């Protein structure tokens, strides 16, 4: 695996110098300032590459921008409304510009309206570390009582709706405001930053788009961009829904193994791949991560390795972001499946036999608690995650143990 690290650009409180000391081999970033739908220009791409190429004192970092996360897909493309055709053409130009700059792997998602969703960005664990958490009751309280979405109550089991009413009644104003901020203001990497009113307006736009409708829009998008990516020898990889179940009455199309199978077979090309995010997919008990890696491995172009602890056994439920080796996903089995896929690729001579991975998220520990970098992206918590994952990789690859 290629050990990469997400960086949010010069404003990121975790610097290029920091990631070098974490032992990172390559950088994952995006042009977060460019409006979704616009072209990523060669100048903007080059500037970001220069920033990555240098440490704070100007010395060469010898790191390069290896994966784009994300080249966002506009709401217009997802809805097939407004400027969607122009945005698709712009997407193709951005791909060409990225390729000309030597970047081959591009992650995106197809979640309507909101990118990833959490209700608490700094939940205290038993060790005093903080992590992100999704509390289903808090989310229902937000949806039914703060957003006041029409008929929202019907989307929840009655006991959850009942608990949500009680929870809402017990929350003070500052806590309510914080909950709204956590859910709708956009977590790191999200392309849009919304107000409650914006969310209501965007939700209404999806009233007439079914799950199958959204899936068809994703396929149309892929039919357009994949031939371009394939001709350029690039790899696109769709990130799963996070969390991987429907929220706010919106359609969701990338939550399960079956969803992924449908999308990879709808447009058959080596350029049409997936981002296997063990933390997003792992929030659902029926997603078998090592099995998905075995069966879909061929199409995996990017890996997010992270672990969540599910707090219920239902498909839709609460979870928190656990340490990398201690959540509900069997990380050792997953890494074993990844190493086997890489070995298979090496045997058949695939140039992309080394799959880029990043230690996804991390708990805030030690000095992270003071630094307060982007939620989910602390320096030390991620470094710890990477170190643990690297340990498993080294052990499983060792000749005295490994079969991979
Ligand atoms: C969260 C991230 C997501 C991801 C996008 C990919 O930490 O994994 O924001 O970058 O969904 O398009």
Q: Are strands 105-109 and 130-134 parallel, antiparallel or unpaired?
A: unpaired
Distances from the Cα of 33 to the Cα of 47, 72, 109, angstroms: 13, 12, 18
Q: Is the CB of 70 under 6 A from ligand 1?
A: yes
- The stretch 12-40 carries a mean pLDDT of 97
Q: CA 257, CA 240: separation in Å to the nearest integer?
A: 10
Beginning with the edge strand found earlier in the chain, give each strand of the sheet holding 319-321 in spatial order: 120-124, 130-134, 319-321, 308-310
**pLDDT confidence of residue 191:** 72
- Distance (Å) from CA 348 to ligand 1 centroid: 31
Asked about 239 being catalytic, the answer comes back as: yes
Strands (E), 49-186: 65-69, 105-109, 120-124, 130-134
Q: What is the pLDDT of residues 21-31, one digit of tens each?
A: 999 999 999 99
Respond yes or no: is residue 304 known to be catalytic.
yes
Q: Cα–Cα distance between 305 and 287 in angstroms, integer? A: 15
Q: What is the mean pLDDT of the chain?
A: 96
- The larger pLDDT score, comparing residue 404 to residue 132, is at 132
> Is 145 assigned a catalytic role?
no
Query: Domains of the chain (ranges plus CATH)?
Result: 2-115+210-308+329-397 (3.20.20.150)
Per-residue CA distances from 244 to 24, 44, 209 (Å): 29, 33, 18
Question: Is the torsion defined by CA of 371, 376, 377, 383 positive or negative?
Answer: positive
User: What pLDDT, on the 0 to 100 scale, is given for residue 278?
Assistant: 98
Q: What is the pLDDT of residue 402?
A: 56
* Better pLDDT: 399 or 334: 334
Check 107, 131, 238, 277 and give the catalytic one: 277
Tell me the pLDDT band of 403, cut-offs 50, 70 and 90.
low
Å from CA of 97 to ligand 1 middle? 22
pLDDT digits (tens, 9 = 90+) for 52-70: 999 999 999 999 999 999 9
Radius of gyration of the chain from Cα atoms?
20
3-state secondary structure (DSSP) of residue 156: coil
Contact assessment for residue 176 and residue 170, using Cβ atoms and an 8 Å cutoff: no
| pLDDT for residue 404 is more than 80 | no
What pLDDT, on the 0 to 100 scale, is given for residue 117? 94
- How confident is the model over 288-311, as a mean pLDDT? 98
115 CB near ligand 1 (under 6 Å): yes
Percent of the chain with pLDDT over 70: 99
The pLDDT tens digits for 153-211 are 999 999 999 999 999 999 999 999 999 999 987 677 777 778 899 999 999 999 999 99
**Catalytic residue of the set 87, 202, 217, 239:** 239
For residue 136, is pLDDT > 60?
A: yes
Can you read off the two tokens belonging to residue 99? 């390729």
Distance from the alpha carbon of residue 60 to the mean position of ligand 1, in angstroms: 28
Pocket flag, ligand 1, residue 107 (CB < 6 Å): yes
Per-residue pLDDT reduced to its tens digit, 340-387: 999 999 999 999 999 999 999 999 999 999 999 999 999 999 999 999
User: In angstroms, rounded to a whole number, what is the distance separating the alpha carbons of residues 353 and 64?
Assistant: 19
Q: What is the pLDDT of residue 87?
A: 98
pLDDT value, residue 394: 96
What distance in Å separates the CA atoms of residue 319 and residue 327, rounded to the nearest whole number?
A: 10
Q: Pick the residue with more confidence: 372 or 283?
A: 283
């Amino acid at each position: 695996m290629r050990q990469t690290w997400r960086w949010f650009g010069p404003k990121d409180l975790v610097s290029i110098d920091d990631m070098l000391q974490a032992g990172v081999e390559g950088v994952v970033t995006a042009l977060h300032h460019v409006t979704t739908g616009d072209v990523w220009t060669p100048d903007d791409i080059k500037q970001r590459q220069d920033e990555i190429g240098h440490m704070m004192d100007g010395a060469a970092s010898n790191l390069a921008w290896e994966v784009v996360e994300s080249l966002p897909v506009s709401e217009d493309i997802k809805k097939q409304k407004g400027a969607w055709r122009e945005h698709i053409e712009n997407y193709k130009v951005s791909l060409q510009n990225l390729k000309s700059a030597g970047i081959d792997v591009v992650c995106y998602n197809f979640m309507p309206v909101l990118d990833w969703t959490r209700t608490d960005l700094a939940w205290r664990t038993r060790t005093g570390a903080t992590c992100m958490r999704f509390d289903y009751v808090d989310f229902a309280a937000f949806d039914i009582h703060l957003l006041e979405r029409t008929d929202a109550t019907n989307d929840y089991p009655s006991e959850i709706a009942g608990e949500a009413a009680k929870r809402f009644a017990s929350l003070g104003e500052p806590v309510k405001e914080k909950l709204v901020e956590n859910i709708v203001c956009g977590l790191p990497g999200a392309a849009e930053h919304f107000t409650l009113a914006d969310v209501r307006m965007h939700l209404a736009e999806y009233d007439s788009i079914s799950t199958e409708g959204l899936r068809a829009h994703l396929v149309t998008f892929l039919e357009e961009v994949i031939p371009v990516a394939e001709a350029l020898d690039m790899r696109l990889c769709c990130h799963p829904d996070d969390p991987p179940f429907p929220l706010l009455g919106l359609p969701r199309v990338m939550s399960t193994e079956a969803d992924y199978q449908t999308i990879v077979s709808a447009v058959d090309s080596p350029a049409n791949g997936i981002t296997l995010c063990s933390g997003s997919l792992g929030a659902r008990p029926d997603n078998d991560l090592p099995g998905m890696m075995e069966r879909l491995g061929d199409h995996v172009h990017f890996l997010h390795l992270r672990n969540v602890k599910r707090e219920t056994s239902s498909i839709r439920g609460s979870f928190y972001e656990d340490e990398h080796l201690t959540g509900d996903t069997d990380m050792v089995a997953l890494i074993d499946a990844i190493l086997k896929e890489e070995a298979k690729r090496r045997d058949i001579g695939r140039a992309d036999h080394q799959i880029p991975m990043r230690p996804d998220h991390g708990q805030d520990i030690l000095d992270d608690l003071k630094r307060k970098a982007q939620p989910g992206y602390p320096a030390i918590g991620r470094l710890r995650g990477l170190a643990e994952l690297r340990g498993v990789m080294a052990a499983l690859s060792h000749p005295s143990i490994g079969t991979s």
